[in-house]
């Protein structure tokens, strides 16, 4: 088997991984048969999950809303922090507008957000 083909195989692999996790720990040698099996099965499961349950990159509005929550900021507080018009912040949070390069740079610095997210990469 070079990959997991269906949900039955996936469930069997997950059951075996749970069993292996009971006998493999940080002190288990890398060449131990259980350790090798755990690494191989984990890779197969990860590949299957990537295909079956792909996770999209978060959108800019999602990232900004999460960051606002983490920092305890309201929309008006965010606008003040970024020295931006509150209506512009509202448009960005609604996905109706993109920040300018200058605004994106300020967001990246003030909110510790990756510039790649801010410019849509």
Residue 1 has pLDDT above 70, yes or no: no
Among the listed residues 56, 57, 59, 55, the one whose alpha carbon sits nearest the alpha carbon of residue 118: 59
Q: What is the mean pLDDT of residues 2-11?
A: 94
Residue 111 has pLDDT above 90, yes or no: yes
CATH code of 60-118, in short, is 1.10.260.40
* Cα 25 from chain centre: 26
Domain ranges of the chain: 7-52, 60-118
Angle (nearest 5°) at CA 81 between 76 and 84: 70
Instruction: Express as a percent the part of the chain with pLDDT over 70.
Output: 98
* pLDDT at residue 39, as a whole number: 95
Residue 45 has pLDDT above 90, yes or no: yes
The Cα 55–Cα 53 span in angstroms is 6
* pLDDT at residue 35, as a whole number: 95
Q: What are 22-32's pLDDT values in tens digits? A: 999 989 999 99
* pLDDT at residue 121, as a whole number: 55
In sequence order, the 6+-apart residues with CB closer than 8 A to the CB of 56 are: none
Q: Record the pTM.
A: 0.60
């Amino acid at each position: 088997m070079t990959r997991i083909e269906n949900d039955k195989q996936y469930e069997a692999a997950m059951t075996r991984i749970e069993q292996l996790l009971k006998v493999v720990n940080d002190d288990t040698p890398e060449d131990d048969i259980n350790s090798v099996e755990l690494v191989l099965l984990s890779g197969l499961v990860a590949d299957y999950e990537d295909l079956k349950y792909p996770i999209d990159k978060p959108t800019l509005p999602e990232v900004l809303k999460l960051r606002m929550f983490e920092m305890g900021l309201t929309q008006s507080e965010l606008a003040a922090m970024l020295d931006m018009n509150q209506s512009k912040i509202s448009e960005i949070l609604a996905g109706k507008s993109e920040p300018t390069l200058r605004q994106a740079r300020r967001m990246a610095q003030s909110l510790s957000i990756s510039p790649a997210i801010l410019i849509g990469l």
